[in-house]
Amino acid sequence: MKILTVILLVLFFALMISVGLYSRQKATDVNGFVLGGRSVGPWLTAFAFGTSYFSAVIFVGYAGQFGWNFGLSSTWAGLGNAFIGSLLAWNILGRRTRVMTQHYDAKTMPDFFGKRFDSKSLKIAASVIVFIFLIPYTASLYNGLSSLFGLVFDIPYWVVIAVMAVLTGAYVIFGGYMATAINDFIQGIIMLFGIAAVIISVVAQNGGLVEAMKSLSAIEGDAWAGAYSSFLGPDPLALLFVVILTSLGTWGLPQMVGKFYAIKSENDIHKGTVISTVFAIIVAGGCYFLGGFGRLYEGNPLLKINEATGKPLFDTIVPAMLSTLPNFVIAIVIVLVLSASMSTLSSLVLTSSSTFTLDVIKPMSKKDMDEKKTVLIMRLFIVFFIVVSAVIAIIKDSNPSVTFIAQMMGVSWGALAGAFLAPFLYSLYSKKVTKASVAVCFVWGCSIAIFQMVVSLAKISVAGWGPIFGYIFKSSINSGVVAMVGGLLIVPLISLFTKKPDPSVVDDAFSSYEKTITVKAKDSLNYDEEETK
């Protein structure tokens, strides 16, 4: 098994680096390095969106955790990711994002806010939020790699992190967004086949789907008998919060929305919508469905128990499930998880470096920065962000008592989505959104996340806070949902009572939608040919 895994890994790494070298010609200027020249097709964009969405965190961590807590009903989280996080996101955000960001020549989310509201302060504030909360989010991508590699290799965890970080950094530095998009496509194909192979193997190992569900239905655990094989599981409300956080949250994440900046045309958006949704159904739906069988492996020696809570360490559930599979399947899974982690890591560090360079360093520079120097600085910051994330991951693994890092990871998603989702969405559709409402939403999203982190770190009991506040701050999942949904109410409400936006700024923004363009009939059927005769 070790030899087979090494061969697959060497081939995989060689392919990733080759793509990076091949893509160098498209990464010579800022537009090419950050957005691939805004000429990326539907397949590459859809796979880039999907692979940035689903990392090793979902396959190893979330699939194990939510599968253990909710059983097969955790599959709803995967379907929510597909239909809310992908299908609706592409339909509601895709085209308008592409049109307005091109109109402004905005390459990052902070740059968009700065130009959409003619506000340097909003641009800087958004840049700071991205910088603070994307780094711990990036570090979380290494979670689960240790236990999976432990199935095959007897090597220190820091070596795994270092290899993944160096190889990811290499192809992103060489080829920028285009290298990331092409590699995301390759990694996405690996993820699709890998997930299918694992599900088939696990179900077959448990006597087939019917027998596996019968075994699962006999387990009571912390709930009633049959809860873990039921339609909505043992805790439907908690499941709903998981679905909302992991699905709606993508609408406000800079690294996800940024994929719409780069897509080539309207027709490509339609194709990308379908491809992205199907990809999410298979990968996300498959991961959570697989995790639903986790309780069948209780007693497996690789399933470690948290002595303080008596519950399993969630990152060990999926590795325990995989440990009994054929060697070939385990080798594929190793490559699958690396693919998932590297694709998301590349997207995050490219987003972080471009945001920090274009929205902070370049405006502060006293001398004009040409394209070549700007791209060089972005490459340097890619190295910086990868090194920092790898160091954080190593520190967290070697010092389990350092809980601050783990808590920061948990609130990153909620903070970013809570701060950005509502302002970004409303900015694409409404002329009434004010600067003040955006600023308040930034503060709201970050404050909820930071408060949740304090509660968790200090181990403050929320039992006496009442049924509402106690439930909200019970976990970062619940508070993250409140941050996002609250933002959707805050922005229009604050806009009613604050200074109205400058009409010229608003008219300029929405003029991008009113431009008349001429396209070929094969790209857009916008008239009835018979009526023109």
pLDDT tens digits, one per residue of 295-337: 888 888 778 877 777 778 777 888 888 887 787 888 888 888 7
Q: What is the pLDDT of residue 168?
A: 87
Q: What is the largest CA-CA distance in the chain?
A: 78
Q: What is the pLDDT of residue 83?
A: 96
422-428: average pLDDT: 96
Q: For the chain, what percent of residues have pLDDT higher than 70?
A: 92
Rg (CA), the chain: 23
CATH for 228: 1.20.1730.10
Q: Rounded to two decimals, what is the model's pTM?
A: 0.88
In a domain, residue 374? The reply is yes
Using the Cα atoms of residue 269, residue 275, residue 278 and residue 280 in order, give the sign of their dihedral.
negative
In the numeric block, the tokens 């990811």 are attached to 168
pLDDT tens digits, one per residue of 193-207: 888 888 998 899 888
- DSSP three-state, residue 54: coil
Quickly state the pLDDT bin for 447 (edges 50, 70, 90).
very high
In a domain, residue 439? The reply is yes
Q: What is the pLDDT of residue 526?
A: 47
Quickly state the pLDDT bin for 531 (edges 50, 70, 90).
very low
In a domain, residue 31? The reply is yes
Residue 517 pLDDT > 70: no
Q: What six digits make up the tokens of 468?
A: 């509402």
Residue 401 pLDDT > 60: no
pLDDT tens digits, one per residue of 222-261: 777 788 888 888 999 999 999 998 899 889 999 888 888 8
In a domain, residue 447? The reply is yes
Quickly state the pLDDT bin for 532 (edges 50, 70, 90).
very low
Q: What is the pLDDT of residue 408?
A: 61
Residue 525 pLDDT > 60: no
In a domain, residue 530? The reply is no
Residue (of 474, 406, 481) closest to 445 by Cα position:
481
In a domain, residue 186? The reply is yes
Q: What is the pLDDT of residue 360?
A: 83
In a domain, residue 483? The reply is yes
pLDDT tens digits, one per residue of 358-371: 888 888 777 777 88
Fill in the DSSP letter of residue 207: T
CA distances (Å), 193 to each of 78, 282, 335, in order?
A: 17, 10, 11
In a domain, residue 16? The reply is yes
Q: What residue numbers bound the domain in which 140 lies?
A: 2-396+403-524
pLDDT tens digits, one per residue of 451-509: 988 888 788 888 888 888 888 888 888 999 999 999 999 999 999 999 999 999 999 98
Domain count, the chain: 1
- DSSP three-state, residue 399: coil
| Burial (0-12, 13-18, 19+ Cβ within 10 Å), 132 | middle
